[in-house]
């Protein structure tokens, strides 16, 4: 990737778009617009995956997050007809500032320490056609990572049952 400037530019551009729209998502006052900003961000993330030669992950990212989960978000927001979010009362302003700056510092610190330890460069030998092929991915998923994979499906099943119990009508 490093030797080829066009891919580098595409990656940087997509990453910039992602950061900008992620910020819009946080800052924007209208929930529907926030969701839409997040859609653009996810799309840019998918572009990043493609440049990192992982098109499978990119496609799954778009199908699952941009195509399904965020549509559900929009569905709920539209169904409830949520308007511009209410302003936080003035007496709670200082608390908000303290908490958000603490979160910011914590996040920046974690990111910096991670970059210090791992470095910003992509480890050599990782990229290549491996990401494009689905068979090696499937083999890893069903051998080395079988337990986390199955644990995740159980978690999803639990969430499904929970949703069912909550949504069930009380029988008289």
User: Where does this chain bind another protein (CB under 8 A)?
Assistant: 32, 36, 39, 55-56, 58-60, 62-63, 66-68, 71-72, 74-75, 78-79, 81, 132-134
Whole-number minimum distance, CB 154 to another protein, in Å? 18
Q: Nearer to another protein by C-beta: 88 or 160?
A: 160
149 contact partners, CB below 8 Å, separation of at least 6: 141, 142
The structure tokens listed for 144 are 């080395």
Whole-number minimum distance, CB 132 to another protein, in Å? 5
Whole-number minimum distance, CB 19 to another protein, in Å? 21
The structure tokens listed for 169 are 């009508």
Compute the distance between CA of residue 166 and CA of residue 113 in angstroms, rounded to an integer: 42
> Are residues 61 and 49 in contact, defined by beta-carbon separation less than 8 angstroms?
yes
Q: Nearer to another protein by C-beta: 15 or 40?
A: 40
């Amino acid at each position: 990737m490093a030797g080829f400037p066009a891919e580098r530019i595409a990656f940087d551009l997509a990453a910039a778009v992602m950061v900008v729209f992620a910020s819009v998502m946080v800052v924007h006052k209208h929930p529907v617009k926030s969701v839409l900003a997040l859609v653009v961000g996810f799309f840019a993330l998918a572009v990043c995956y493609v440049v990192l030669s992982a098109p499978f992950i990119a496609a799954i990212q778009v199908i699952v997050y941009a195509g399904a989960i965020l549509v559900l978000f929009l569905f709920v927001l539209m169904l409830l007809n949520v308007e511009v979010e209410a302003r936080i009362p003035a007496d709670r302003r200082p608390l908000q500032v303290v908490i958000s700056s603490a979160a910011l510092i914590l996040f920046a610190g974690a990111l910096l320490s991670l970059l210090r330890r791992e470095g910003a460069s992509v480890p050599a030998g990782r990229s290549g056609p491996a990401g494009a092929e689905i068979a090696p991915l499937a083999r890893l998923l069903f051998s080395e990572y079988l337990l986390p994979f199955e644990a995740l499906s159980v978690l999803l099943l639990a969430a499904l049952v929970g949703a069912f119990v909550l949504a069930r009508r009380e029988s008289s």
